[in-house]
Homo-oligomer: A and B are copies of this chain.
Amino acid sequence: MTVSISISAVRRNCCLYILMGMEAWKILLLLLCGHVLSIQVFGVPGTCPADVGSKCEDDDWKGEFFPDIPKIKYEGPSSKNPLSFKWYNAEEEILGKKMKDWMRFSVAFWHTFRGTGGDPFGAQTKFWPWEDGTNSLAMAKRRMRANFEFINKLGVDRWCFHDRDIAPDGKTIEETNANLDEVVALAKELQGTKIRPLWGTAQLFLHPRFMHGAATSSEVGVYAYAAAQVKKAMEATHYLGGENYVFWGGREGYQTLLNTDMGRELDHMARFLEAAVAYKKKIGFNGTLLIEPKPQEPTKHQYDWDVATTANFLRKYGIIDEFKINIECNHATLSGHSCHHELETARINGLLGNIDANTGDPQIGWDTDQFLTDIGEATLVMLSVVRNGGLAPGGFNFDAKLRRESTDVEDLFIAHISGMDTLARGLRNVAKLIEDGSLEALVRKRYSSFESEIGAQIEAGKADFEMLEKKAMEWGEPKVPSAKQELAEMIFQAAL
């Protein structure tokens, strides 16, 4: 089974140092520690490695995980305290809803608790004090406790997970499922009544068995394995009260068309999703199924390239009504679109389901998954959300990670606060824009010529070419006014 490195007997004086240098959420610390394990993490400045010498076998890491971090409070824009909200005031009402109900923020377990800081050229840089260097079940549970302390201190109500980042692989599917069950049971307990998953998903990309894809693998055995895994992950999400279930096809694509039967692979993907829909209904899971587009990385081309490509796929196979889309801003820009474009495309196709809130670097051609701090961008994002009437049962999941070189525990809080404040600021700006009304008026005026009889006929599909030709000849050269683009930008910027 699995990715794991199982070390059945690692004895005394053994300094175990495992760096799995994949990008954040894709990374596992895969040591199954059987009996005795003495770990010595060489002092890494900026983190405070815990004395975990004898803790491998149990999960009771007493005491707080974040002893120096208070519950984060709203202190307003003039506060200089990095560990406070300046713009996000959860209970404050904006545009008829509480901020927290617009936002529905979620913490991504993988980035925050499994991110190592590794990159394609570098080993792990993050050594959190509560980590013992193993991928044991005990460690998985301890980590889950840290997750809930983090969530509570941050003041959010939702979290997201991949099956394999919360519980370790076992040697067989059965054993792996048992591991998952154990951790999920703990999470259920820790969730209490208020907290629940925004969404869950199955990790179908890290393990080498998925190297040719999961639903689109050239191997029938992998297809079956993936089905078994999604089945279980959907059950776990359902059990935890998850509101959505996500499909991200990181390996559903190709490296070169020379060795690929793209048509057949897409057919397989459709069959897989149909089976997922059927299973969802069978178990009574009412959450939304979400597809998360990404154009490339890790493969050269991923089949769920962008919103339009995904919508075409769903329509072609007749399953468009069963899915919505989870839009990640950095994925949007990698596909050549602004995030706002992708959000609007999803919205007008009736597919806007959830947002993975992050941002990329405008000069960089891969997924950097940074926390969004651009207030103009955040305002555009919130504009789509408000137009959509909110995102529920979706929300904002922070699919974002600390940069490799940010290695303090407090950086985890600073980054999330910054991301939450930025979106909150965006929402406040949208409220200003709407109250001001100038931008909306500008757009309404632009299309006002369609508020005519002939406009109505066109929009009703009743204007044929002959009638239109007659009109065009009758009217002569049409008047075409300025688009007032710089004015629109001036109005927009004034609201920031």
* Contact, CB under 8 Å: A2 / B209: yes
- Chain B residues whose CB sits within 8 angstroms of the CB of A231 once the complex forms: 465-466, 468-469
- Chain B residues whose CB sits within 8 angstroms of the CB of A279 once the complex forms: 464-466
A335 contacts the other chain (CB 8 A): yes
* Contact, CB under 8 Å: B447 / A120: no
CA distance A411 to B443 in the complex (A): 16
* Contact, CB under 8 Å: A271 / B376: no
CA distance A487 to B405 in the complex (A): 12
Question: Could you name 7 residue pairs across A and B whose Cβ atoms are closer than 8 Å?
Answer: A2-B477, A8-B8, A21-B21, A80-B438, A297-B366, A316-B349, A371-B489
Copies in the complex: 4
Which of B15, B219, B365, B405 is the one whose CB lies under 8 Å from A485?
Answer: B405
CA distance A450 to B265 in the complex (A): 11
A408 to chain B: closest residue by CB: B482
* Contact, CB under 8 Å: B172 / A473: yes
CA distance A454 to B223 in the complex (A): 10
A220 contacts the other chain (CB 8 A): yes
Nearest-Cβ distance from residue A325 to partner chain B, whole angstroms: 12
A261-B443 contact given A21-B118, A459-B267, CB 8 Å threshold: yes
Q: Interface 1/0s, chain A 7-18, versus B by CB < 8 A?
A: 111111111111
Instruction: Spot the interface stretch: A39-47, A138-146, A150-158.
Output: A39-47
* Contact, CB under 8 Å: B483 / A403: yes
A9 to chain B: closest residue by CB: B9
- Chain B residues whose CB sits within 8 angstroms of the CB of A80 once the complex forms: 436, 438
A359-387 interface with B by 8 A CB criterion: 361-367, 371, 373-376, 380
* Contact, CB under 8 Å: B22 / A123: yes
- Chain B residues whose CB sits within 8 angstroms of the CB of A313 once the complex forms: 308
A250 contacts the other chain (CB 8 A): yes
CA distance A263 to B459 in the complex (A): 12
Q: Interface 1/0s, chain A 22-33, versus B by CB < 8 A?
A: 110011101000
A377-422 interface with B by 8 A CB criterion: 380, 402-408, 411, 414-415, 417-418, 421-422
A238 contacts the other chain (CB 8 A): no
A71 contacts the other chain (CB 8 A): no
Instruction: Spot the interface stretch: A95-103, A184-192, A200-208.
Output: A200-208
CA distance A333 to B313 in the complex (A): 21
A21-B206, A122-B298, A263-B347 known; 20 new pairs, CB 8 Å cut-off, are A15-B16, A19-B208, A80-B438, A173-B473, A211-B404, A212-B483, A221-B472, A221-B478, A221-B479, A222-B478, A224-B469, A228-B469, A257-B338, A264-B447, A275-B468, A298-B404, A301-B341, A311-B316, A312-B312, A333-B363
Interface centre among A4, A27, A217, A361, by most B CB within 10 Å? Answer: A4
A117 contacts the other chain (CB 8 A): yes
CA distance A492 to B208 in the complex (A): 27
* Contact, CB under 8 Å: B21 / A337: no
* Contact, CB under 8 Å: B348 / A402: no
A55 contacts the other chain (CB 8 A): no
Nearest-Cβ distance from residue A243 to partner chain B, whole angstroms: 21
Nearest-Cβ distance from residue A306 to partner chain B, whole angstroms: 8
* Contact, CB under 8 Å: B123 / A208: yes
A94 contacts the other chain (CB 8 A): no
* Contact, CB under 8 Å: A255 / B483: yes
A237 contacts the other chain (CB 8 A): no
CA distance A141 to B443 in the complex (A): 38
